[in-house]
Structure 1
Amino acid sequence: MTSAERPSVSPRTERALRDAMERLFTGRPTRTDGKLTKKNLWREAGVSRATMNRATHVLADWDHRIGHSPARLQDRKQADTITALRQHLLKARKTATASRTKSTQQPPSSPPCTPRTPLSVSRSQASRRPSYLSRSDGDPTRRQPHGDAPHVS
């Protein structure tokens, strides 16, 4: 027997695959999440992946129907919308960049702000510890006891 004469799968298996395909396309799966994938097809039919791959006529019908399914048309419509939005975003970014470039090339209308008081601090002011960090006894190197515990030297 040649491969053209040999049946690809049993009639019972083909019927199971076609029933599973119909359940998936009508949105009434019993064993899967309902996504239109070949993995869900063989799981929904209760056959192995290898068995599904031997059912070439069923897979040809699957490929034909998947190309014209409402889900596929929705995917195409969504992809077209995403493409249009990306082009719109790109155009908006170019416009924003061009307007930003124009505004930086114009001379400023007023002189830049200058501080009224000098920012320099004398060396003695910079080295002085703030009062909230100072120790009460005046010796910053000496450890202070915690709470009411007696201090042992």
Structure 2
Amino acid sequence: MTRLFEGRRQRTDGRLTKENLYKEAQVSRATMNRAHAILAEWDAHLAVHGKTTPGEAKRDAAIADLKKRLTKKTQECTLLEKKLKAAHTAIAALFHETKPSGSSSTRTPRPWSHPSAHGVDGVGGASATPGVKTMARRRDKSQGAR
């Protein structure tokens, strides 16, 4: 029983179950069920400490910490995306204000969209760096133009 409580299991997966208790003790389930004092001690320990082992408690704490950090980083990312969109809007407005009236260029900046929509992160299709096919096409075009 002590080995299970301390997380030093030898014959089981370490979960705090009665099945693991009798397997660790190398006795039959019937023998375990006749040991009322041991079962009372087992139940009392689980009532105070719960069914999680020290390793599971550490794991759960680590998971909770990672979830908090992920939430914080997601909020930071959302804020930065909003700032980027606002900056893009301001730049587009300044471009239209300062554009010469007699300019023959009719090109206007594209509306802002998230970079992943263009495949920058590798999810949307095309990658941020040219692939082998793109580089081959460029090479073929430059050799054909000579």
Q: What's the TM-score bracket when you normalise by the shorter of the two chains?
A: 0.3 to 0.5
The structure whose Rg is larger is: 1
Could you say which structure has the higher helix fraction?
2
Q: TM-score, normalised by structure 2?
A: 0.43
Instruction: Give the alignment's TM-score, normalised by structure 1.
Output: 0.42
